[in-house]
A and B are shown apart, each in its own frame.
Chain A
Amino acid sequence: MSLSIALMTMDHRQNHLESLRAGLSLLVYPIQMAVELPDTVSGWFRESLASRRQLQEENAGLRTQLLMLKAQRQKLEALEIENIRLRELLDSSFEVGEKILVAELLSVNLDPYKHQIVINKGDLDRIYPGQPLLDADGVMGQVVHVGPYTSTAVLITDTSHAIPVQVNRNGLRTIALGSGTINRLELPYLPNNSDIRAGDLLITSGLGGRFPQGYPVARVTAIQQDPGKTFAQVVATPMAKLDRSREVLLVWPGDFDITVPAATPTANQQAGADIQIVPEDAAGTDEASE
């Protein structure tokens, strides 16, 4: 009894038990694999029993999609370089390139009252706690526990999670809190007169140093301005398919410089803002984003 209370306290206060949890997660790995097995087998059957025509159609579809994405990417590269050049003129630093790894969700259900997922990459793939997690449409969450082969990530909608965001339209910065409902984020810190509308896209602001800048997070769905209250009640829907995605992307922010030479140390001040941008090597530091 007292042992478990001690254990819970230590786990809640973090730090000490990470390695124990990582070691013990090896113990439950076979169970997770067993649960995953039917899914793996059915996936294998689906792939190996698919007809030739189906595969050809899929192939053609993917080819078209790839072509379109490539065309878009060409433009993006030009824009990226232009952006960097302009920022250099303003004497501010901006990191664009990131290293990305694709991971897959394990189909295990966790505690239904916590929004967590298990992914099939772990310490051996150099995953670290606090690492941002994306899917094809936006930010999903961040890694919290890392085991040798698997890691647990908390989604942005978990009640204990908060993510610094900005409105894409005008750069308005705020924080999006998880609500405990899978399709709902709350923005409780916006004053009543702030410039935000339904339909606004929220992107990561990069402040806090945990999430890289510029990834879509959510779209504002409803705003309620009560004149009697100081803050507006803003609700947003996550862009990422939090409860449907199978493939997720793990990002190493700013690990991997593609273009710009390193900015001078004095150039960390963002033009026009009095907030210090966290230096590029913040990937490993423990800057709180919650």
Chain B
Amino acid sequence: MADQPYWNPVLETLEPERIRQLQLKKFKRIFNWAFEKSKFHRSLYDKAGIKPEDIRSFDDIRRVPKVEKSMMRDIQRKAPFPYGDALCVPLEEVTEFRQTSGTTGQPVYQPDTWQDWEWWAECWAYILWAQGYRPRDRVFIPFGYNIFVAFWAGHYAAEKIGCEVIPGGVLDTKARILKIQELEATAMMATPTYVLGMAETARKMDLNPAKMTIAKITCAGECGACIPSTKQRIETSWGARVYDHAGATEIGAWSYECTAQPGGLHVNEALFLVEIEDIQTGEIITEPGRRGKMIITAFDRQAQPCIRFDSKDVIEWAEDPCPCGRSFRIIKGGVVGRADDITKVKGVLLAPSAIEEVVRGMDGLSDEYEVIVDKVGDVDQIKLRVEVMPGAQDQCQLIEGELNNQLRLKTNLRYDIEICGCDTLPRYEVKAKRFKDLRKGKKQN
């Protein structure tokens, strides 16, 4: 069984036309469920004049109103406490509470039934099996098991697969590194920021993470593991293969990179419907190569359904199929940013991930950086702060020139670069906040 490359050899290799048929049928089922069980959804659909029998095609699906995160925040003020009227099951069937991190505002509460929780682990089982996790693996999870969903379902999926799981919960970073070394863990899951931070800490402990036993790392929570230069830094630091995955509290674990590392993520199209919407026009993009924001439906989530959720993740379809043989489509480069984060600077659209790709691709710089966008008078200015590594301090001028050139090519913008000493920029444990737009709240052009 360990040689079987697919968690589900039937669904993951299904012909695209059959996948579309399955998706349409499953969309109708979850729409009907929400229509019947959720006051919030019923009211939304009644206002739009859409009933379950109206959904006969993908064009009909596009008429179904989208759900925004702000709408989910608003319903939490209604009964039943604390979730509000999108709840589709009696409160006594809710077995799990999680909440969003609140990065973009007040956190959203997420109820799940035990079946939903099984489903979460099932989504993650697709991910981990595709990334080569097998029963012989000893998986270390350096995550502070808490109210955020993060790697909880990764833990249960690893157990489901048959791996041995080491919960690295309340240990600090040094203790986690020592535990990995002591137990010879073969795999781990964490955010790219934390994985890079762990490697830095290990080196300060006179340990070489690349010589440790970790052979694969699953990243989530940030874009990094699909940014080639960041992926390479992590892989070199740890001497391990690094795989990305994207998911969200309100959605589920909807995509994964496979061992072929095709430069993007497979969408789990048996469990989710991903639509890409043009940010300006609202048109649904079906062809490869055009970026838009993701509208997503989870077909099998019961307690608080996720139907046409406007995730604001910026993605695009890839042109080529994956050599791994999966027929699930790929989003090129993973989640490349968030519609909220892509901002206009001097009239040019700027995605923070483009800056990361350049900084992390430069020799002589540490993993940390900080971008501050501000307005001086009427003019936008971008300050980029980077850290020079101890052995490269005599090359600051060269590095600055090269950074300027590459950033200009990549983003078409000019930067005020400040080269700082090592260990001077903030370090982050989980999700990093390296991009700061100080213009917010000031008058915009």
Decide if A and B are genuine partners. no
Residues of B within 8 A of A (CB): none
Q: Write the residues of chain A forming the contact surface with B, with a CB cutoff of 8 angstroms.
A: none
